[in-house]
Amino acid sequence: MSDSDSGEKLGSNLSELIKQLEKIEFTSDRDLYQYARILRAIGLELHMRIGMDADMVGAILAQYKGKWWTFGAQSKIRAKLVSAHLKGGASAAKVLGLSGVKMYASFVKHFIQPEIEAERKAREGKGSKKPGFSIGDKPKGAAGRPGEAGRAA
């Protein structure tokens, strides 16, 4: 039984989210949906954590005294350069989360929508009249019932 069947709620703990992601076995469309939800939650969690850590690292490094004649300005510039790498990682984590959502949207577009469209067309075809054998209806261009062909009443 996979997590998608159990209806387990997504947690905010990153290690729990990763455990949930590892448990998923791709056996149905619900598993793909659950995978996308968990991957999105992981991406958002990582984005938030790494972004906050980048700000914290930048603030800590900006407090470094450095050379006395720069009044700490050089340290602040270098701290921004260092924390910018973490901010880039935070953006990458956000993209990771979005990739799960895009994967599921692509699955819907390429697999589910064609099935729905084919089913809709099949239902429309059942309502239309099919040429061939009919009882009680006068066929188009045919003589009709015996005794009706060519006689004027």
Average pLDDT of every residue of the chain: 81
pLDDT in the model for residue 76: 86
What average pLDDT does this structure show over 86-106?
96
pLDDT of 98 higher than 90 = yes
What average pLDDT does this structure show over 75-88?
93
pLDDT in the model for residue 70: 60
Three-state DSSP at 65 gives coil
Estimate the share of the chain in helix, then strand, then coil, as percent rounded to the nearest 5: 70, 0, 30
Report CA-CA distances (Å) from 138 to 98, 120, 145: 60, 29, 8
What average pLDDT does this structure show over 72-88?
90
Please state the domain extents for the chain.
13-126
> In terms of pLDDT, which residue wins out, 146 or 90?
90
Q: Which of 9-18, 104-113, 144-153 has the highest mean pLDDT?
A: 104-113
> In terms of pLDDT, which residue wins out, 147 or 101?
101
Query: What is the C-alpha to C-alpha distance for residues 38 and 16, in angstroms, rounded to an integer?
Result: 10
What average pLDDT does this structure show over 132-147?
53
